[in-house]
Structure 1
Amino acid sequence: GRDPACRSAGRRPDGSTGPCYCDQACARTLDCCHDYAQACPVIPCVVSQWSAWSGCAEPCKTTYRVRTRHIIQEPRNGGETCPVLEERAGCVEYWTRQGTECQQSLIPALITTGGFGKARKKRAAADGSERAGYCVEFQLMAITPGCLHSHHSYTRWMRYLREGHTVCVECQDPALHSPSRYCYGDGTGSQKNQLLHWQAVGNHRCKGTWRRIRQLDTCSCPSVHSFLFI
């Protein structure tokens, strides 16, 4: 706002004369004194580097991790305001705080389109690390509206998810963990008709529940209903 203590009379930067000010508001009202820029230089906000990412907020579920930074210098004299000081990103931890592995029935499955499987198999075959995987069939029970609002090319596959449909999710390298030989979130050990959780990779708003039907050696669902464990 206006600071009467900073009021003077003289020449303004545009060459006009009259009352002029040396407060921060003068930059917006265009009535600064001619030497304002030298007497009160713009000082922008300065922030620190980002901290390291924290651990997941909660284990055994899809949640988030955090990184922060702090203000080193506050802005003055109309300097640019400070940017955000906290960022969050999706996160899943498969171990409890006590160091034990999460129960399979509690771990949400992270899935992506089955199209990525071809590139995976090529890399595994090239370095000789390819191992036999398996397929799990699920029935989709609930889907969030966020799945239908995926506009990026890499999330377009989410639009084909429909409640009640049967989908196939393949477990293959590198998601196939040794020596247990299973993928996290595949529902191993779950009760019959138990609701399990899944999360689509690339769109945190696309998630839901499904029921495990059976495990097979290979998947045979249509391509739009074929996915991969991550």
Structure 2
Amino acid sequence: MLSFPSAPLSGPLTAVGCVVGSWGPWSRCSSPCGVGSKARSRQVTIPPWHGGEPCPDLKQRRGCLGEHPTCGAAKEVAKVLPSSFGRDFRDPWWKARLLLPEEPSGYCAYFRLTQVGPPCRGQDWTRWLHRDKRVCVECWGDAAHRRSHCTGHGLQGARTFWVAASVVGCQGSWVQEGLQEDCVCPPPALIFV
């Protein structure tokens, strides 16, 4: 067994103040479009000792404005219907010139609902829409606008808005979690109109 000789104390212990490293880089803006925040941090290299100066803040946050090149898509409002609607469906949002293909082909967009308006409750096809629910929306092609994406599919990670095309006042917000090419959403599902 090893033993160490005890040394007499020659005086009071010296206080050591906290020492921190330099700031790391700022993170990306938390919102790809619009107002968000950035953060950065630093590490403690020498902790305070014997009543020395405490450590300063180790994290900083500041506001930022996300300006992703596709932010225009995040400003569009999605108009949706259930994927099971009949082709003779009539609605104020419906455009006669929008011809749906016989066999849907396009992509699926996955969203997490962040807000669902009270008028959606109790309605036949919108009653299953709830905050934090993940929904799948099919894009059958935006023939009306001759675009490769459907109006309102948003930008991944950005909060965008939707409205139920056949239920007055039923609207809310969601965050796109991803896109998948050439797919069919499992029921219950929605389609962009």
TM-score by length of 1: 0.43
* Partner SS state of residue 126, structure 2: helix
- Measured against aligned partners, the alpha-carbon deviations of 1:209-230 in whole angstroms (never above 9, x if no partner) come to 0000000024465412x10000
Aligned residues: 114
- Indicate the residue corresponding to 1:158 in structure 2: 126
Select the structure with the greater relative contact order (CA < 8 A; seq sep ≥ 6): 2
- Indicate the residue corresponding to 2:77 in structure 1: 108
Match of 2:140 among 172, 175, 199: 172
Q: Pairwise mapping of residues 127-166 of structure 1 onto structure 2 (< 5 A)? A: 132-150=105-123, 156-166=124-134
Distance 1:209 1:133 in 2: 23
- Indicate the residue corresponding to 2:150 in structure 1: 183
- Measured against aligned partners, the alpha-carbon deviations of 1:40-68 in whole angstroms (never above 9, x if no partner) come to xxxxxxxxxxxxxxxxxxxxxxxxxxxxx
How far has the Cα of 1:165 moved from its partner?
1.0
Q: Pairwise mapping of residues 51-62 of structure 1 onto structure 2 (< 5 A)? A: none
- Indicate the residue corresponding to 1:228 in structure 2: 191
Segments of structure 1 that go 5 or more residues without pairing to the other structure are 1-101, 151-155
Q: Is residue 168 of structure 2 the alignment partner of residue 199 of structure 1? A: no
Distance 2:100 2:131 in 1: 34
Q: Kindly indicate whether the alpha-carbon contact (under 8 Å) linking 1:138 and 1:166 is maintained by their aligned counterparts in 2.
A: yes
Q: Is residue 101 of structure 2 the alignment partner of residue 124 of structure 1? A: yes
* Partner SS state of residue 223, structure 1: coil
Q: Kindly indicate whether the alpha-carbon contact (under 8 Å) linking 1:139 and 1:166 is maintained by their aligned counterparts in 2.
A: yes
Q: Kindly indicate whether the alpha-carbon contact (under 8 Å) linking 1:177 and 1:183 is maintained by their aligned counterparts in 2.
A: no
- Indicate the residue corresponding to 2:175 in structure 1: 211
- Indicate the residue corresponding to 2:25 in structure 1: none
Alpha-carbon distance change, 217 to 157 in structure 1, aligned in 2, over 3 angstroms = same
Runs of 4+ residues over 2 Å off in structure 1: 116-120, 122-125, 175-180, 218-222
* Partner SS state of residue 149, structure 2: coil
Distance 2:107 2:86 in 1: 13
How far has the Cα of 1:181 moved from its partner?
1.1
Choose between structure 1 and 2: higher helix proportion: 1
Distance 2:108 2:100 in 1: 20
How far has the Cα of 1:203 moved from its partner?
1.3
Segments of structure 2 that go 5 or more residues without pairing to the other structure are 1-70, 90-98
Choose between structure 1 and 2: higher strand proportion: 2
Distance 1:117 1:137 in 2: 23
Cα RMSD of the aligned pairs, angstroms, is: 2.9
Distance 1:131 1:168 in 2: 14
- Indicate the residue corresponding to 1:153 in structure 2: none
